[in-house]
Structure 1
Amino acid sequence: MLTDGKFVLKIMMELLWLLLPVAAASGWWVAQREYTGKRNGATIRNAEYFKGLNYLIDDKPDQAIEVFTRMADVDRDTAETHLTLGNLFRRRGEVDRAIHIHASLIARPNLTTNQRCCALFELGEDYLRAGLFDRAEELFRELLDQPDYTEVALSRLVHIFQQEKDWQQAITYCDRLERISSESKQRETAHFCCELAEVANQRRQDDAAKAWLLDALARDPDCARASLLLGRLSIRASDYQAAIVALQVVEQQDRGYFPEVIAPLGQCYGALGRLDEWVAYLWEVQQRDHGGRITDALADWLMRQEGEEAALQFLERELRDYPTLLGLRRLVEIKLRRGEGAEYADLKALHCVSTQMLNSAARYHCVNCGFVVKSLHWCCPSCQRWNTIKPMSDLVMKTNA
């Protein structure tokens, strides 16, 4: 006969064996509910994705944005999709929608550091596209301390300062960018110095302008723009000899810009009573460059000093081997002055056509993107590259070897 204690123990053991299957069943039921919950969550999320995609296919971007933005509350794995979606809207030109998506992402507390930095960068790109430079600047400054984004953030800040014409800031950040990248920025910063010199020149601050131009040449010794500006600055100060020295350097720096110095050089030599030296210099350069503006300047000199016949002989000889529109027009002008012969009508028509072509033709082109323009720009309006706009050669063709 069992004592009371042993009887109670026996009852408890029997109840334990009865409860074990119940506990197991209970655990299985809880696990199934958790799995079903996750599966249902994934199903709901997939359904939302398809719903958003259908809105995009039906050209209903506003509804699509609402769906995808709402999904950011589910988990942070959807951030990459939102970033991609925002980029697509920006590329389509729908910058306001891109801003809405990227700004909504940044407001989420559950993003990783990398996701937040990526969203900040993309939002900065959105603001840049929208022309909201102050907002873009704030975001890119925030990214400067992130090693993976420092270089690209600096490049965007340089671009912003260029657009805002804050040249000193552009120089500072461009120098900083050059220190951490392998690409030289000396050409760009030299032009920023020239921009500051132009501002000082307009304010009649000659000493400051000269200092900026010397800084430009220290950064880029081949900066023809700086030499041109130094020459003009010296002309204004009536220091014609200094102007001649500065302007003659242009041909060594970039021969393509030499047509820009022909007239100011003539002005300087004329003011000093040494036009014969100017002509001798033109003859020297003409042996290396048979461009139309040099030919035209020499023909004009010959006509005034030695007469029409000397100018005609020079032009006929030059145009046989190096035909240019400017040279042709000068030739026709001289022949028209000599009388009304049988060829007068034809010459007059030829002069009219050549003049119209010269007046309508672009004089400068970008060697990087091919953009053409009638006036000189130091930064290409199309590709935004510095020092790529060059005077176009007016040489029609070279007929001799």
Structure 2
Amino acid sequence: MEFDLSLILLALPIVFVLGWMASRFDVRQLRMENRQAPKAYFKGLNFLLNEQQDQAIDAFIEAVQSDPDTTELHFALGNLFRRRGEYERAVRVHQHLLSRADLSQDDRYRARHALAQDYLKAGLLDRAEEALLKLEGTRFEGSARLALLANYERSRDWEHAAQIAHKLESGGQGSFKGRLSHYLCEQAASCMASDDLPQAQVYLTQAMHIASDAPRPRIDLARLQIRQGRPAQAYETLTQALVTAPAAIALLAPLLVESSLACDQGPGALERLKAVYEETPSLDVLDAIVALEAASGAPSATAREWYAHHLESEPSLVAAAKWIAGEKLEHEQFHPQVQRALDQAVKPLTRYRCAACGFEAKQHFWQCPGCQTWDSYPARRVEEL
């Protein structure tokens, strides 16, 4: 067949025109897509800034649908779901990210960290632990360890919590001696509940060695010694606590009364408590003084004198209620009703209050039941704060 050059010359302009039209169509489509995706993204961002989370989620879903490869939008959407409490949807978003083969290694770690947070918020502690352990050696290691620590504390797994606390301390993220001491005390409490008193003493001795100025190990050890029938040792333990942890005197005062009376050390304990009270007046110390004086045979009027003395320096409704309980009123027939009203009024004042979240309780807690913060309860009652 004879080669016809004229056909080629005629075809070249046609090919050029078709190529130009195709390129114009691709550019126009690309520009349209680029305009649509940012528009949905910025619309969602605007809703988010105006705290309109429902509309923000809808806008981000629209943006993700128009560009499924946008990882940042997936992270934003997952975080929004978690903040709204829609943990199942947040999990699906982050699991979808992890299933993508084109995801960078750093984004993979980021998605795993976000997934662990989803599990934690949803209360799926086992799955959260599994996800957090896989972040060792990554840039999320520090925050993952802190989350693991909170996870183990929440599930009362004190041994694993201690391991993580040691890692955090060796990694330069602060001192965890106080927490480690609490973990040992919690293990000692479990041993005491199961009547394994020797092992409980081992834990408490270790706790005192780790945090020598912490009040809890000595207070718990004194309780253990009283239970073992060794009040003299308990009294000695508590007198040491008066020196190492003077701020906790209000907590150990009742135990000091019990142990001192059991080992005939009442007068010595009374003098110690009086000296402490003169420096720092406290309702619990005052009650301990009244109890020791009553045990020594002092008349009941002595107690009222102490409460009256307290009222001279501290405007205390609790002390006033206790003082008036022993007084003879002019209209004595109304005394029971007045006393019941006063006792009801002072109940909220005798509680302990968490300094971190404000949670109030009748008893003192070393770890707040509300916010899980350690040592957030002052040793003083609400009225004394």
State the TM-score, normalized to the length of structure 1.
Answer: 0.81
Task: Give me the CA root mean square deviation.
Answer: 3.5
In 1, distance between residues paired with 2:176 and 2:25? 62
In 2, distance between residues paired with 1:131 and 1:394? 33
Question: Radius of gyration: which is bigger?
Answer: 1
In 2, distance between residues paired with 1:386 and 1:319? 33
| Per-residue CA distance 1:253-274 (angstroms, 9 max, x = gap) | 4444322222222221222223
Query: Could you tell me which residue of structure 2 aligns to residue 3 of structure 1?
Result: none
Query: Could you tell me which residue of structure 1 aligns to residue 363 of structure 2?
Result: 375
Query: Could you tell me which residue of structure 2 aligns to residue 5 of structure 1?
Result: none
Q: Secondary structure at the match of 2:195?
A: coil
Q: Which has the higher contact order (CA 8 A, sep 6+)?
A: 1
Would the alpha carbon gap of residues 212 and 89 (structure 1) be closer, same or farther in structure 2, given more than 3 Å must change? same
User: What count of residue pairs does the alignment treat as equivalent?
Assistant: 380
Query: Could you tell me which residue of structure 1 aligns to residue 277 of structure 2?
Result: 286
In 2, distance between residues paired with 1:188 and 1:282? 29
Deviation at 1:298, TM superposition (A): 2.5
Would the alpha carbon gap of residues 85 and 23 (structure 1) be closer, same or farther in structure 2, given more than 3 Å must change? same
Residues 64 and 73 in structure 2, CA contact (< 8 A), matched pair in contact too: no
In 2, distance between residues paired with 1:321 and 1:48? 66
Amino acid in the other structure paired with 2:367? C
Query: Could you tell me which residue of structure 2 aligns to residue 229 of structure 1?
Result: 220
| Per-residue CA distance 1:230-253 (angstroms, 9 max, x = gap) | 111111111222211222233334
Amino acid in the other structure paired with 1:157? L
1:2-401 alignment, distance < 5 Å: 28-29=20-21, 31-42=23-34, 45=37, 59=54, 67=62, 70-71=65-66, 73=68, 75=69, 78-146=70-138, 148-303=139-294, 305-336=297-328, 342=330, 344=332, 348=336, 350-393=338-381
Q: Secondary structure at the match of 2:378?
A: strand
In 2, distance between residues paired with 1:208 and 1:323? 46
Deviation at 1:16, TM superposition (A): 8.4
Would the alpha carbon gap of residues 145 and 58 (structure 1) be closer, same or farther in structure 2, given more than 3 Å must change? closer
Identity in percent: 26
Q: Judge which range, 350-359 or 179-188, deviates more.
A: 350-359
Deviation at 1:136, TM superposition (A): 1.1
In 1, distance between residues paired with 2:269 and 2:368? 32
Would the alpha carbon gap of residues 215 and 15 (structure 1) be closer, same or farther in structure 2, given more than 3 Å must change? same
In 1, distance between residues paired with 2:170 and 2:136? 14
Would the alpha carbon gap of residues 300 and 133 (structure 1) be closer, same or farther in structure 2, given more than 3 Å must change? closer
State the TM-score, normalized to the length of structure 2.
Answer: 0.84
Residues 225 and 233 in structure 2, CA contact (< 8 A), matched pair in contact too: yes
Residues 181 and 210 in structure 2, CA contact (< 8 A), matched pair in contact too: yes
In 1, distance between residues paired with 2:251 and 2:41? 61
Deviation at 1:281, TM superposition (A): 2.0
In 2, distance between residues paired with 1:104 and 1:324? 61
| Per-residue CA distance 1:327-352 (angstroms, 9 max, x = gap) | 3233223323xxxx625357555533
Deviation at 1:360, TM superposition (A): 4.1
Would the alpha carbon gap of residues 53 and 190 (structure 1) be closer, same or farther in structure 2, given more than 3 Å must change? closer
Would the alpha carbon gap of residues 320 and 344 (structure 1) be closer, same or farther in structure 2, given more than 3 Å must change? farther
Residues 350 and 383 in structure 2, CA contact (< 8 A), matched pair in contact too: no
In 2, distance between residues paired with 1:58 and 1:172? 39
Residues 317 and 346 in structure 2, CA contact (< 8 A), matched pair in contact too: yes
Residues 228 and 247 in structure 1, CA contact (< 8 A), matched pair in contact too: yes
